Structure 1
Amino acid sequence: MSTFDKIDTLYGDLPYMSRPKADFLRDLFLQNNLRDVMEIGFFHGKSSAYIAAILEEQNAGHLTTFDLASARRKEPNIEELLTHLDLSHRVTPFFAKRSYTWELQRLITTTPRPQFDFCFFDGGHTWDTTGFGVVLVDMLLRPGGLILLDDMDWTMEGSKYYQNNPAQMRPYDRDERQTPAVRRIWDTLLPHLGYEHVKEFPDYEMGLVRKAAG
């Protein structure tokens, strides 16, 4: 049984990454020879496990991934999941007290600064967190590196979490609640930073951009 099949068998019901998305990621990794990779938002760690399995198949590479400290309370959490799958050696998870943006700051100010080929961005989703997060990821991404944005059309108003916690939407204007913030960042911020729109994948609600090579 392949590790992908093992993830499906043991953790197929866990949110959020599906097998078709994982197969898509595998193709992307192989086509672009991705090795030094990062991920924003791991939740239970299912997406991290799929990425680690891809790196294990390649016998090369490492994933650095970020989420909030509350992710430790998930059942199973990322550490339990990776240990069970024998993939812990491929992943370094960071548990942020408040925000992954401060954890990225720690990497940015490290000497020598780590550099990555690829970022799977699936965290925050609001204009503030994703917008600033993209700027910080850019500082850690090698020239020619790729960012894959998830949930391109996510909105606060359409989110089950915010629907169940309406008080958390009160500080936001109506247009911000209704605007797909990730798409707005795709349309405005990333071109401003010099990124090329490689391709959008509507079936997966994802968009791929490439950092300028120079």
Structure 2
Amino acid sequence: MKSFDEIADAVAGVPFMSPDQGHIVYEHVRRTAPARVLELGTAHGVGSAYLAAALPPGGQVITVDHAGAAYDPSPERVLSQAGVRDRVEIVRQYSSYTWWLKERLAEGCEGFDFVYLDGAKNWTIDGLAVLLIERLLRPGGWLLMDDLHWTYDEVRDREVSDGVTIRGLSDEERAEPHLRAVFDLLVVDNPAFTEQRITDDWWGWARKRLEGEPVRRGSVQIETTKSAGALVANGLRRGVRAARRRVRG
């Protein structure tokens, strides 16, 4: 196990996970000691580095991104720089991680203890991904969804974002946060999940219910690690997006 400070120094300046977010993920892995971790959406590999560094002895991270994903610096370089390359399997041979999940389900994969979903941020892709993740997550294992309030309005100047052609989306699809819809509609009311919570209005957590554990649906705990000023700023951004949706409606 490497210290948080070692990893933070090794990945300093590399997008996309901030040190504050990295610390939350690192401490979660240290506390829950998962043997098998799955990350969907690799990018530069910063998230993988924090995840791998906190693993118990013998633990492994598998990180999956679509075959066309190309980042500079590469995840191979970032993970080597952080000294955790040997703990991470990088997969980039699929058009979408949903197909990779389908293959693991078909082969009877032994499952995962923690899944970090930080990929397409798209209802079609990630809605299916969450349903497959639930099947592959071991009882007691955790799902963490990033970017709950991200919208395509933030990248309107791009043609494509994470494999999704933006010009093919309706105005409503561009303005509404897809991952928040996935969390609210497919996770919160799913009887397989419990202990749902939202951190900093950006991360959605849920634990897969243990066998025999009572079903608890629809109750979401809200928590924050940010200052009051940051929360106000986030609220204003959400208000602007809601106003845009009303105008388009």
TM-score category, normalised to shorter length: 0.7 to 0.9
Runs of 4+ in structure 1 deviating by more than 6 angstroms, as ranges, are none
Q: TM-score, normalised by structure 2?
A: 0.75
Q: How does 1:104-123 map to 2 (within 5 A)?
A: 104-111=101-108, 113-123=109-119
Note if 1:211 corresponds to 2:208.
Answer: yes
- Coordinate RMSD, CA, aligned: 2.1
Which aligned pairs between 1:52-91 and structure 2 lie closer than 5 A?
52-55=52-55, 58-71=56-69, 73-91=70-88
Q: Is the 8 A contact 1:3 1:85 kept in 2?
A: no
Query: Which residue of 118, 124, 132 corresponds with 2:120?
Result: 124
What CA distance in whole angstroms lies between the structure 2 residues aligned with 1:10 and 1:27? 17
Structure 1: gaps (5+ residues): none
The answer on 1:174 being equivalent to 2:171 is yes
Alignment partner, residue 35 of structure 1: 35
Q: How many residues get paired?
A: 206
Equivalent pairs: percent with the same residue?
Answer: 31
Cα drift, residue 182 of structure 1: 0.7
In the alignment, the residues of structure 1 paired with residue 30 and residue 91 of structure 2 have an alpha-carbon distance, to the nearest angstrom, of: 26
Q: What's the CA shift for 1:26?
A: 2.0
Q: How far has the Cα of 1:16 moved from its partner?
A: 0.5
Aligned letter for 1:63?
V
Q: CA deviation at 1:177?
A: 1.2
Q: Distance in 1 between matches of 2:75 and 2:178?
A: 27
Give the deviation of 1:61 after TM superposition.
1.2
Q: Does structure 2 conserve the Cα–Cα contact (< 8 Å) formed by 1:108 and 1:114?
A: no
2:224 is matched with none
1:135 matched residue in structure 2:
131
- Shift of the alpha carbon at 1:199? 1.6
Distance 2:44 2:123 in 1: 24
Larger radius of gyration: 2
> Which string of whole-angstrom CA distances, capped at 9 and with x for unpartnered residues, describes residues 25-68 of structure 1?
1221233232211111010111101111111xx33411111112
**One-letter code of the match for 1:99?**
S
**Offset, 1:3:** 5.1
Please identify which structure carries the higher helix content: 1
Counterpart of 2:99? 102
Corresponding residue of 1:190:
187
List alignment gaps of at least 5 residues for structure 2. 212-249
SS at match of 2:98: helix
Per the normalisation by structure 1, the TM-score is 0.87
- Does the alignment pair 1:156 with 2:133? no
Question: Per-residue deviation at 1:136?
Answer: 1.2
- Could you tell me whether the CA contact under 8 Å between 2:26 and 2:53 is conserved in 1? no
